Every structure is written in structure tokens, then in C-alpha cells.
């Protein structure tokens, strides 16, 4: 999946020393591999099943390798007017990308103002934003439904792109990062006659690429995987994103598992690829979101 290179973080002081004897090392790897099997086998089984025929997936006991290897599941979801899975894929891609962009733009601007500017109401604004971190988003679903209904956004992609960008996480996360940047570069830019917009665009944002990438990836993932909100605000088959679409697929194909698993694979591949390439960002984002910043 990834090359087992060690990052600077791994080499840091906290990591305890490697176990001394060969026996202990063997025990460590045996444990690690056993756990890896627990986490991976279900995912491997998903891929295997997606390559079986209907009859192949009904066999008892099940076979580990698909025989024959079949494109049946994928054919079903490609040529499917009742369940346009490829359309859902594109919808998800578009929604998650636009959502991540919207979060980046709005959160970075707001976070910069909160981190670096002094103005009336800053304390109250920040307190309000942070305060909403404590309100479970699920408890706002009913009133939010009423709001998007009034805006006439139901059953459009806008409804899965925009409202989630109100989350306080991005602003909070970037504010913490901006506060950690050295002020000297910004001060030098001020002396050069740059205004706040120029400093923001040419000094602060370029310095913040790692944090922006982390936020973009996390926002994309959250939006791509969102299930609860879209199943209640998207209805038309051609409007769905993948998660509510997969629910529909399960209802339509019940025990036709190759088809259902093919859909699940399609929904997993982009995020797994993203994970492989942006692993550092995702894992740092997760570990930093709560603790450091």
C-alpha cells in the first residue's frame, strides 16, 4: 500500500526502543500481521465478491477466489438506468471537490482575520464559532432541512455542497495553524507596503500549504462519505451521491452481492487512493485536530 519509510515524526523521542531479541521481534510481527488481516480481510472480500458471478457468490461454502473472474457486478452497475451508479460517482466527485474548495476559501479567510486582525467583536465571534463544536450536528438536521427547503435546494447538488461548510472545524483548525506561523515574514511584507489581502494571498497561504492540504483532504473525505444528510435531501435517481445511491442499490439487489460489492468498491477506490497519497496529511490532520494545532 505504502512504502514503509519512516518519517521524522516516527523517529521522535517518544518511540520506545526496538525489542531486543529475535524472538520478541517475531512475536511483534506475528501480532502486527494478525491484526492487519483483521482490518484488511473484509476489504479484500469486498473486492473478491465484486468479481464473482451471481451463482459464484451464492456458493456454500464460499470460494476464496472468484472462478471464473467475472465482470458481472460491474456490468450491472454501468448499464443501469434505474440505478445510474456512474452518475452518482460523478455527482459525488463534483460535490466533494466543490465542498472542499468552499471550505478552503471561506475557512482560510475567516481564520486569518481571527488569527491576525484586531477588530470589534472578535472574541464573541470566535467564542460562537467554537461553541458550535459542542453541538452535535445531528441535532440540527431537522431545522437545517427546513432552511434548505425554504431556499429551494432540496434535490440539487447545492444541498450537499454548501451547508456542511458552516462547520467550525476548518476555521478552528486553520486559525491554530496561522497562530503558529512566525510573524516576521508578514511584518516584512507590511514594511514593503503590502496590504492585508496581499499578505494573506502571497505570504500566509503559501506558508500554509500543508495545513490547507490537510483540510482539503479531510473535507473531501467527509463530504464523499456523508450518508445521513443526503439520504433525506436527495431523491431523484440522477441527483444522488454514492452513499445514498449504495443504499438504493442494496434495496434493489438484496442478495445479489457481486453488484452491491461492485458499487461499494467504486465508492471506496477514490478515497483509498486519496489515503495512499495523502496519508501523512490525513493522519496528521486527525492527530492534530484534537490536540496540537
Name residues contacting other proteins, limited to 65-94 (CB under 8 A).
none
In whole angstroms, how close is the CB of 160 to other proteins at the nearest point? 12
Rg from Cα positions in the chain: 24
Residues 159 and 145 sit within 8 Å (Cβ to Cβ): no
Contact call for residues 77 and 263 (beta carbons, < 8 A): yes
Q: What is the three-class DSSP state of 142?
A: helix
Q: For other proteins, which is the closer residue by CB, 58 or 79?
A: 58
Grid look-up 489581502 returns 197
Judged by CB under 8 A, the chain residues 125 through 154 that form the site for other proteins are 125-126, 128-130, 132-136, 138-147, 149
Q: Which stretch binds other proteins (CB under 8 A): 38-46, 68-76, 77-85, 205-213?
A: 38-46
Binding to other proteins (CB under 8 A): which residues in 204-223? 221
Q: Which of residues 183-202 bind other proteins (CB under 8 A)?
A: 183, 186-187, 190-191, 194-197, 200
Rounded Cα distance between 47 and 258, Å, is: 9
109 lies in the site for other proteins, by CB under 8 A: yes
Quickly tell me which residue has 517475531 as its cell.
26
Residue-wise over 44-60: b if at least 16 C-beta within 10 A, else e?
A: eebebbbbbbbebbeee
Q: Which is nearer to other proteins, 138 or 236 (CB)?
A: 138
Q: Rule CB under 8 A: choose which of 67, 68, 75, 232 binds other proteins.
A: 232
**Which of helix, strand or coil describes residue 159?**
helix
Q: Does 22 bind other proteins (CB under 8 A)?
A: no
When the beta carbons of 69 and 228 are compared against other proteins, the nearer one is: 228
In 3D space, the residue among 166, 118, 280 whose CA is nearest the CA of residue 288 turns out to be: 280
Q: Which of 28, 30, 65, 201 binds other proteins (CB under 8 A)?
A: 28
Binding residue for other proteins, selected from 203, 226, 234, 240, defined by CB under 8 A: 226
243 touching other proteins, by CB under 8 A: yes
User: Using an 8 Å Cβ cutoff, are 215 and 285 in contact?
Assistant: yes
Scan residues 154-183 and list those touching other proteins (CB under 8 A): 162-168, 171-172, 175-176, 179, 183
Number of residues that bind other proteins (CB under 8 A): 134
Cβ(100)–Cβ(274) below 8 Å = no
Amino acid at each position: 500500500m505504502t512504502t514503509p519509510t519512516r518519517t521524522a515524526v516516527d523517529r521522535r523521542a517518544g518511540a520506545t526502543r526496538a525489542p531486543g531479541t529475535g524472538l520478541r521481534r517475531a512475536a511483534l510481527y506475528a501480532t502486527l500481521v494478525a491484526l492487519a488481516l483483521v482490518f484488511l480481510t473484509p476489504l479484500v472480500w469486498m473486492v473478491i465478491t465484486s468479481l464473482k458471478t451471481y451463482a459464484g457468490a451464492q456458493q456454500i461454502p464460499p470460494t476464496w477466489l472468484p472462478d471464473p473472474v467475472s465482470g458481472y457486478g460491474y456490468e450491472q452497475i454501468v448499464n443501469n438506468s434505474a440505478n445510474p451508479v456512474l452518475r452518482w460517482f460523478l455527482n459525488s466527485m463534483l460535490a466533494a471537490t466543490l465542498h472542499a474548495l468552499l471550505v478552503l476559501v471561506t475557512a482560510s479567510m475567516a481564520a486569518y482575520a481571527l488569527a491576525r486582525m484586531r477588530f470589534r467583536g472578535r472574541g464573541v465571534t470566535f467564542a460562537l464559532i467554537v461553541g458550535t463544536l459542542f453541538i452535535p450536528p445531528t441535532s440540527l438536521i431537522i431545522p437545517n432541512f427546513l432552511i434548505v427547503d425554504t431556499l429551494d435546494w432540496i434535490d440539487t447538488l447545492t444541498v450537499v455542497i454548501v451547508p456542511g461548510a458552516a462547520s467550525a472545524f476548518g476555521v478552528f483548525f486553520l486559525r491554530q495553524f496561522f497562530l503558529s506561523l512566525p510573524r516576521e515574514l508578514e511584518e516584512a511584507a507590511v514594511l514593503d507596503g503590502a496590504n492585508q489581502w496581499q499578505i494573506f494571498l502571497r505570504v500566509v497561504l503559501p506558508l500554509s500549504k500543508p495545513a490547507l492540504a490537510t483540510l482539503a483532504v479531510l473535507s473531501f473525505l467527509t463530504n464523499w462519505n456523508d450518508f445521513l444528510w443526503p439520504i433525506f435531501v436527495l431523491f431523484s435517481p440522477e441527483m444522488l451521491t454514492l452513499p445514498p445511491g449504495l443504499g438504493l442499490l442494496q434495496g434493489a439487489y438484496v442478495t445479489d452481492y457481486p453488484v452491491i460489492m461492485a458499487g461499494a468498491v467504486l465508492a471506496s477506490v477514490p478515497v483509498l487512493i486519496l489515503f495512499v497519497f495523502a496519508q501523512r496529511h490525513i493522519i496528521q490532520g486527525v492527530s492534530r485536530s484534537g490536540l496540537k494545532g
